[in-house]
Chains A and B, each alone.
Chain A
Amino acid sequence: MNAVSRSTTAPASRGVQTIRFFARFTRGQRWEHGLLILSFIVLFLTGIVQKYRNEQWSQDILSTPDRLLLVQTIHHIAALVLTLEVLYHLIRAIVLLARRKMSPALFPTLKDVRDAGQMLKYLLFLSNQKPRFGKYNFEQKVTYWFLFFGIGIMVVTGFILWFPVQVTSVVSGGIVPAAKLAHSTEAIVAGIFVLIWHFYHVHLERLNLSIFTGRLNEDDMRQYHSAEFERLTGEPARPETRDQGGQS
């Protein structure tokens, strides 16, 4: 991707700071993330009410049988939205990869393992050097691939639970209670992961809104994706060497 964009093309002058922005996500990817957030939240909320329907708080919400049916219907609609989004994502990725039109930046490499080791050293005060990340750091790749497989499990087990009679005409019935346990547990695991891991990285470590705006500013690029910054601009990411511990 030859993706250096500038918010202003005018040269920097006194009193005017030029902030460069770097394109990070396409319009389609931003829409996909929006659909994912929406369906994930709806599925999580309508699902957790059903998972804990032995509990009083759940029964307060599902106060009538109609309400229970409504919650299930909403869950199914959101499930269809997510399934379509997953199919679109997969087919698009496969087609683009086959035509060699997609950057393989998201695929895990050996560098990610080394980065993770370096990050661990840094976090344990064994090193003062943060790893230098490319377009996607190993944390972001973990997020993507964890949810990739997590959502895969949820979609597959979800359809087993939705159409058990049809499914067991092909496979053993033992898959149904196993799917129920997997669906119900994976949902909690995915919820924990998003709440702790993903939210820390995009809200607390820094506010990273690039998935909504599609672009990342120069400061964040220099600091968090220094290797990518250097690759795109040819400039050194950190002219003045200073402690890597965080921004001012």
Chain B
Amino acid sequence: MAKRRRSTRWLALAGIVVLAALAVLALTVPARAESQSAGDIYTPPTSMGVADPPAQQTENYCLSCHGDPKLSLTLPGGETLSLYISTDTLAKSVHSPLGIECEACHTNIKTYPHPAITYQTRRELSRSYYQACQKCHSTNYDKTLDSMHARAAAAGNQTAPICTDCHGAHDVQKPDQPRSRISQTCGQCHTQIFADYKDSVHGVALIQDNNPDVPVCTDCHGVHNIQDPRTAQFRVNTPDLCAGCHADPRRMSKYGLSTDVYSLYRTSWHGVDISVYKENWPTIWHTSAVCTDCHGVHDIRKTDDPASKVNPANLLATCQKCHPGAGPNWTAAWTGHNKIDLNRTPFLFYVEQFYSGFTPFILWLCVIYVILQIIRAVVGRVRRSLR
């Protein structure tokens, strides 16, 4: 009995020793690996957490090779990939001066020699590397997953944009400085739309005057979760989208524009149709006109611009898009976002004048007459019963 107890005590002691030895190993092995990856470079802790080494330390190390303009390699697909990174480019980017350096994005490269590149093409490489953005920019990255661009990529379009296509890779800049940079970025791919926009009232004010009030692409289309603007839902939301600025008196007063355009549209034939569809059947396509049907989409111009779709010279042709067969008299049927006015809409003015008096007159005439009749009849009945 006593012997047995002693042997178990030995076993327990041996177990503790083994466990302690394993713990020591576990602590030392990764530490050794870490010092190996950083090479000889001193690695103090930093507050960024993203890049452990201090600013420009690993960058300088990487640039000792990648600063060579001739450095390149040929991908298995046959394309040549330049491996040159300009010091200047990095210095002007938003990341490098903050101490966010090479290995923050190139997470798979720890040392030299680097792991072998298995990507067939440059695009394949980009589409793989850009996913590093989500490490820090997870909110915006997640938004892009619900975008028109992500759906295009999912459908097999390899050229569908990824973070770096719009923001740049080694030369990441603030995307909205200057503000026109946003629209120019979109214009890299959407060239025709940008060409239209550039000459529109909004585009001219943006690009030539750096106007802070006019919309850039993202103001209407959204930023990372850009949706398909060709859907019925986008269509019925258009009036509210435009009203975001055009019903804002503070912004419109600067340019002498009326904010009634939206409220009067809402009471118009087109506007009522659209608001009913928006409320009840937003996914069902409806042809009643929204702002962009008459004013244009990206090529919106001032109404007095001869090229404007709603310029009096072009208005009939614009109406005829939906009302084929409409003659020259037709355009007078459009009250033009204006309140009822004797000179502009005389018929409407007189009808409104007439009924604003006639309706209450008839109502009160009927009510008063009937009340008098009832009083007289009741009084007559009471008198007869008292007689």
Contacts and interface: CB of A to CB of B under 8 A. Distances in A.
B252 to A, nearest CB: 24
Nearest to B325: A165
Contacts of A124: 372
B8 interface: no
A54 B275 contact: yes
Contact of B333 (A65, A164, A248): A164
Interface string A153-175: 00000000000110011111111
Given A176-B333, A182-B351, A243 B377 contact: no
A220 B329 CA distance: 56
Interface residues of A, number: 44
Contact of B373 (A53, A123, A165): A123
Interface string B331-375: 111110000000001111011100100110011001101101111
Contact of A174 (B281, B332, B352, B373): B332
Given A176-B333, A181-B351, A196-B366, A54 B372 contact: no
A185 B363 CA distance: 12
A165 B330 contact: yes
Interface stretch (B148-156, B172-180, B379-387): B379-387
A240 interface: no
Contacts, number: 122
A189 B356 CA distance: 11
Interface of A is mostly: helix
A193 interface: yes
Nearest to B368: A123
Interface size class of B (residues with CB under 8 A): 35 or more
A246 B348 contact: no
A178 B358 CA distance: 15
A192 B381 contact: no
A145 interface: no
B272 interface: yes
B380 A168 contact: no
A165 B323 CA distance: 8
A124 B379 CA distance: 11
Contacts of B281: 64-65
A168 B325 CA distance: 10
Interface of A: 53-54, 59, 62-65, 68, 122-125, 164-165, 168-178, 180-182, 185-186, 188-189, 192-193, 196-197, 200, 204-205, 243-246, 248
Closest 8 CB pairs of A and B: A245-B380, A173-B332, A173-B333, A178-B347, A176-B333, A196-B366, A123-B372, A168-B329
